[in-house]
Structure 1
Amino acid sequence: MTARVDGSRVVVTWRPDTDAEGPVGYRVSRRTGHGGTAREEFLGEVTGVELVDDRIGAGVDAHYTVVTVRQGQVSKAAVSTPAMIAPDVSEVRTTVDESEVAVSWRRPPEATRVEVLRGAGAPPHGKGTGVVSVEHDGSGFRDTSVRADQEYFYRIRAVYLTSQGWTRGSQGLLIRAVPGPRAEPVRDLRVDPGTGGRVASWTPPVRGRVRLYVGRTATAATSGAPVAGEPVQGSDGRHRLSLSLPAGVSHVVAMTEDGERRVVGSPVRVVVAPPVTGLRAERYDTVVRLGWSWPEHASSALVTWAKESDGEPIGWERRTRVRYDAEGGFETPMGSGPLVVTVRTTIHSGTDEALSVPTTVRLPGRVVLDYRVEPVGLLRRERLVHLSADVPCRMPRIAVVFTPGEVQPHARTGRDRVLSVLPSQDLEAGERVSVRVRPPWDAAPGWLTCFPLGPGDDVRLRQPSVRELRL
């Protein structure tokens, strides 16, 4: 049989009587004390092979006996090895500074004394080389014989006296301490908008490692897990770490950790606006129409557009959700060149305005050419065709076409007659290109129109009035 300590109770187990015929019971008793002070207490009779003693007090050494009971007959007793519940000290508090380690505790009332051993660089085992016995007053100690930046381990054990006069110690608590200057808190934490999220930056302290914590409140932040990832040091000496913050208000806290010491810096309050989704864009000459899905709680958005070539901003507009819904989207002139359009939602929190991460869409450029038709020559039978652009662009090859018939053509037909072809060329803003043509007068009525040659998805010719085109 065995008696095993399990927390604040003793579990007694034994092997059953395999030769027994008929029902068998087992009587379990506890014996404490020694000699004239010995005492035996009956704990119970069971049919199984285990009994739990949860009435034994701390610091009491006990032997357990078990006898087999069968048909009124009692066997010889089996006796366990001694068992004692020996709890460790409690309410341990540790303070570490540059030249001292101070530890306090509450001793169990059943313990006769407390033993403290110190090891340098490794936990102490027994009283071997490098192990020092630390003096204390029974409830704590102040160790001033330590050196800065040296790792120390303290093992604290409560010691109990058995009924036979022997001592028995608790399992013991192990405390690690590294004396040194107090860790410095981060005092200049900043959280700025970055690509795809926010970026925290700070000046690293001389000692210790900085971890970031995020929560809805500053108190809740430090109770959670630290932000994953390793910071990167920039050319200005500051450390930076990308953050993925939820929409709404968050608090970012920097905690300096140096050995067992932790110091919390001033928290930074951050308001994050949720981004739009499903951004789409359509171009109508120089006018661009946008549509997107609004996130919850966002009431306005900032729309900006820039040149795709160099990212130079061209313009911006704010749009409230009320106006967006009333107009069925967003529409404004943005020019005809290739663009990068960005939409950010905005949230106001007190005097601050928070912008969401950008949602972008790219628009290819589109050449918009205006052309005019002017009668010239003898009897005004010839026509002078002028083409121009409002912005610098590359003009494609343009065909000047005569089409007979009563109905104005809006695309090339099999009855077209090409009167002239203007070569592809670069045009400055406001520059005009002209060509003189002679329409046939043997087929009337008819129309004089211009069409781009080749793919025309990126070119649009803006026609003059029907009066100019009709011959």
Structure 2
Amino acid sequence: MTRWSFDGARFVEEVLKPVLDGWRPDEDLFRVYLLPPDVTDDAEVRAALEEIGRQFGKQQYRNFRRATELLRGQHEAACATLLDPVSRQEHRARVAARAIKLTDAVRQRCQGAPGLPPGEVTALARSLKVARGAVVGALSSVGGRELAPADLGDTPEPAGWVEARGHLAQLRRGSLWDYLTDLGGTATTAARLSARRDKLRVSRSSDTTSETTLLRLVQQWLEGGNLTAVLRFELLSTLADHAAYSYAEAAKAAHAAAHRLAPLGVDVKPDAVAYAVWCARRFTAAESQPAWQEHYQHAVRELRLRAALTVLEQQPNLPEGWQEHRTALAARLSELDAELARCEALEGSDPEAAVAGYLRVREHLADSRIDAAVRRCRPAPPRSATARVQNGGVAVSWSRSTSTAGHIGYRVTRGTTVVCDETTACEYVDDQAPNGTRLKYSVHTLRDGNPSAAPARTTAVVVLGEVTGLELRGEPDRITGRWKLPRGASGVTVTRDGSAVRDAGAESFSDNAVRPGQVHEYLVRTRYRQSDGTQETSDGVRAAASCQEVPVAVTDLVAEFEDDEVVARWTPPPRGNVELFELRDGEEPPALDIVPAARARDCGIPLRPSGISTSGQLRARPVSPGRRRTIVPVTVLGDLAAIGKPCDLDPRQSSVRSLRADRFGSTVRLTWEWPAGATGARIVWRADGKPHGPTDTAAAHVDITRVAYDSRGLSVSIPPGDYWFGVCTTVTSDGVRSFGPLVLRRESATGTARYTVEPGSRFPRRKPRLVVESEHDVPPLVLLAKSGVRPMDSHDGEVLLRVTGGPAPLAVEFDVPGHLRKPVVLRAFSEDDRVVLVPSRPDRLSL
């Protein structure tokens, strides 16, 4: 047993993924086979080689197929290296040498920082083509760790910052923070800034002009709530400049500015701030360029051409190529200013042309004067607007405005309420319009959010909202309805099949003038009272319902046991579902009545179907098997139920099974299987049809006990003909006899003819003779012979004689073939199913 164990997650992270990224596995076989570099136990090495070797073909590593193929190819050489102590030691030395080189590279990368971010660890591992774990180990050896930088938030360069830095430089101020110290710092107010500007008006110089402009920028930031963000950007930018030298410089600057962190919303310690800024500068920033170039390019991207020109003009030693940029930019601004002047002149005569010109200039220049000019040129309103009631709301439509310059939209107002802030379509549906009120709508044209001076107005419309949640319910003698009245309605009008329903309330009605089973259509219309005293009525909501029908009770329920289940049968009622309930101990059967369905279902324990059931039959497992129970049928129709005639279920009164009737001439023998616990039975029969029941007066019957049946069976002698036989169990309780289900069987009784065989003699010579006697004519018959055994049917044996029939008595001689071995047994069979041949002397049938 070795200490080594396979770690699947480590195998993927430290072996398979690095191999896919280009790491050569033969550079560190200890890492490939998850072994410590100082391993000396050959058993541990062998266990690792065997287990890792088994992993190369597993499906769970199919996404690393290229890596596993490479590892499989060098596995044999790796085994030779690691299992040989000398080769293993040489390989260990090479691994240690590479680890030293990696440690030096990581140390240079850190530059004294407390660690490296996870992304840089991954990138370094890929660039050096080593395992990521090796980089983490080297980082630990130089006193660092894998460390994610703190999130300092996104602090973009504020608008006007480049201009502000120029003014700070002219004022010989190191930072905006230092400048604002005398003005209250981050807590400065507009009053303090205004007081400072008043002092600067005393004298005029380039410095006062520059400071006045700086104060204007500060006031803009203060009014926009961005002053703290500007100061935070200044601080982080300064730390980033120090981080360009080293982490130590960034940390030194961060500690020097530690008092500024909390007021500026940086809730991180100075070292963490320095590390975050150093990581951002070291691993994400591109090669730095002069700050003014970056600011110039940023301004050009934002179309702030005036700010871009200011950046170039503030550079004392502008390179020659950039001087040409400055000249071209100044000329371009002059052209755009001339176009702005031309558009301003057009505002009075052709505002659409003026706006089109302003928008063309805005594509090249960001200037607040352009936005103000576009707002001055109001768009034309729609020529007309209409409103119509639609599906409980108001659909407002209008013609398109003649204004086309800029982004054209429309605002819809109901009275003084804006219902649609802006849409580019020419129609809007107000689905929140109030009911029963005269409504007028106004439509303004919007150009870039600027509304037209006047709107297009609609005529007044009234929304006649309908009732909601209309529900009709049919009861035994009435139909009721309920609904929710909409806000603003004064009442409703209810009609049934065109006739008014009396006494309808505001949110309900009860209609007794209905017929059971007939479907009635109701119309509920909402009334609204107007301010002039008139009333308006809605189109209405329609619904149909029928009066609750009275269910029909089941009166012929029959239930019996079959094996371990109860089978119940009944005549299905015309409508409704029949449910069966087993009464609990001590409960009396409920009276036949019409009651609520919920009350009817409380009369017992429901019988759940256990097999295939039909509308008139149910097969279920009894709740109390083997005991006498009472079953109550309940017909459920809607909310009403009809309690039917109960049926007593006695295990002793179950149906007999396997009823069989065997005929023996004029005698029929009946056999059956008794149900458990049964002690008596009644047998009934009649020739003109099925018996109507155990007490059918037109049928003959006989009673028999179980003891008598077991001792002698049951046979019935009847004249020839077709008969229906029925057998049911009987139980006598308190002097009253009850009967179980009647099982029927049909059988035909037959006539009887008797025959004898008179043997032949040698002296005088006489052949054997068959003599048949009967009260009627002799039927067609056949006489058979068989050696040693009795023939069983008319085809079992050798035919000695075949007679077509004739008047009785009949005597016919026959010969016995000599090839039949003695004793020869004879038997005659009738070929007429209505007659049975019976031997008078069975002892003479053997010759």
Of the two structures, which has the highest relative contact order with CA contacts closer than 8 Å and spacing of 6 or more? 1
Q: TM-score, normalised by structure 2?
A: 0.30
TM-score (structure 1 length as normaliser): 0.47
> Of Structure 1 and Structure 2, which has the larger fraction of its residues in strand?
1
Structure of higher CA gyration radius: 2
